[in-house]
Amino acid sequence: MKSTKKTDESAFGWDGLTTFIFSNVLIFLTFGLALFILLFKVIQTATQSKTTISDNSEAILIAGLCLKNNKPIDEYKIRLNRVISILYALKTKPKIIILGGITGDNSISEAHAGADYLINLGINSKQIILEDNSRHTLENLQNARSILFSGSIQKTEQNFIIISSRYHIYRILSFAKGMNMTLHAIAAEKSLSYSPLTIMYMIKEAYFLHWYWSGILWVFITGNKKSKAKVS
């Protein structure tokens, strides 16, 4: 399962820079109104997200997170521990798709580190599929979509679950909707923390979402096919 291929660091690019500037111009022109609306949705979803799933789930996706010395950080462990608690409660054995490539100074992918953690806690490695080429959330979902609809997973009702931190869920669901993916989100934590760090994360999520939707608008205005491929 080991992955040592370094993911391309040039995820920003000229298209990203253009939509980044466009997004900030829109924030200035609208006095940040759309940003505040998105922040409200981020908080609302973070508060209301569930921690349990139905027994007919076909696959469980886990959003990866940065590593420290090739090991999951505490927040990532909380996501992985949620998977374990869910699996023990289920009668079925859904596939587990762990998302995330190599980031920072690590030599293994976020997906590989997550798989090692689960296997060490007794999860069958045959249940686990790695998506270890992505650099950010949008690529996580784009690559996961390829896996989900490749035929490697037996689907009946396309009941796919994704697990992440509460502050991150609204952005994941927004991206998935834009990609015509139906995902059911499960929160890693029992409840939302309103610590200064979590509040900062939620503001950042709203900002990234504004950038994403500005990119969608930019594609609509310009018809840029290269930009469209990156956000869909």
CATH of the domain at 209: 3.40.50.620
Region 39-62 average pLDDT: 92
**pLDDT tens, position by position, 127-180:** 999 999 998 999 999 999 999 887 656 554 468 999 999 999 999 999 999 998
Q: Would you say residue 10 lies in a domain?
A: no
**How confident is residue 12, by pLDDT bands cut at 50, 70 and 90?**
low
In this prediction, residue 154 carries a pLDDT of: 53
Angle at 154 between CA 148 and CA 158, to 5 degrees: 60
Q: How far is CA 135 from CA 45, 60, 169, in A?
A: 24, 20, 17
- What one-letter code names the amino acid at 41? K
Report the share of the chain in percent with pLDDT over 70: 88
Region 5-15 average pLDDT: 57
Q: Would you say residue 211 lies in a domain?
A: yes
Q: Would you say residue 39 lies in a domain?
A: yes
Quickly count: other Cβ atoms within 10 Å of residue 203's Cβ. Answer: 16
Quote the domain boundaries for residue 36. 15-231
Tokens of 112: 């590989």
Q: Would you say residue 74 lies in a domain?
A: yes
How many distinct structural domains can be found in the chain? 1
Q: Would you say residue 122 lies in a domain?
A: yes
Q: Would you say residue 22 lies in a domain?
A: yes
Q: Would you say residue 7 lies in a domain?
A: no
Q: Would you say residue 79 lies in a domain?
A: yes
**pLDDT tens, position by position, 183-206:** 999 999 999 999 999 999 999 999
